Amino acid sequence: MTVKEYLYDTEESRCKRELHYGRVSEPPAPFFPHQSLVLRVARILASHVDSRRLGQVAVAPVDVILDAEQHLIVQPDVLFVSQSRASIVRDQVWGAPDLVVEVLSVRNHLFDRGQKLGWYHKYGVRECWLIDRGEKQVWVGNLTATPFSEQIAKGSATIRSMVLPDLFVSAWSIFQE
C-alpha cells in the first residue's frame, strides 16, 4: 500500500495502525494501564509545552509520515513538535517530531526498542523516551548523537530532556497511580 492509498483511500480510523514500507500493521488495542500511562505522560508534556508556548503535543492515533517515498508511517504513543517546526503539522505530521514517547508492553517492546527506534534515529527524531511499566523506568535517548547518548531515570531521578531542557519531572511522577 502506498502513503496515498493509506491516507486517502481508507476510512479514518481510531485504531492504531502504521504503514511499514508498504505493509499495514494493525496491532490490537493497548491495555488500560498502557493507555493510562500514555495519558499521564501527555498531560505532563502538554502542561509544560502549552504554558510556555513551545509547540504541540499529540497522542496516538495520529499519523507521522517519516518517509512518503518508502511508505513509512508510524504512530508514536505521544509526540511533541516544536513551534519552530510547526509547519510539519497538517492533518498528519509530515516529518520527524522533535520528541516521541513509546510506552513499552510485552507485545511491542522488542519492536519499539529495535526497528522503530532505528527509524526514529534515521529520519531525524531528536529525542525518544521508552517507558517501561514493568521496570518503572524511563529510557531517554538523544538520537542526534551516534551512538545515542542515553540515560535511565528510575524512582526520584529527574528525566533530563535535551529537547525540553526546562522540564523537571521525576520518573516516579510518571508511574504514580
- Tens-digit pLDDT profile for residues 121-174: 999 999 999 999 999 999 999 999 878 789 999 999 999 999 999 999 999 999
pTM recorded for the entire structure: 0.91
Question: Among 7-16, 53-62, 160-169, whose mean pLDDT is lowest?
Answer: 7-16
8 found inside a domain: no
In which domain, by residue range, is 52 found?
Answer: 31-61+74-175
Helices (H), the chain: 3-8, 32-52, 109-111, 117-122, 171-175
In a domain, 144, yes or no: yes
* 109 belongs to a structural domain: yes
In-domain check, residue 17: no
Q: Residue 115's domain is classified under what CATH number?
A: 3.90.1570.10
Mean pLDDT of all residues belonging to the chain? 92
Domain presence at residue 10: no
CB 138 within 8 A of CB 129: yes
Residue 19 lies in a domain: no
Number of domains making up the chain: 1
Task: Look at residue 18 and tell me if it is in a domain.
Answer: no
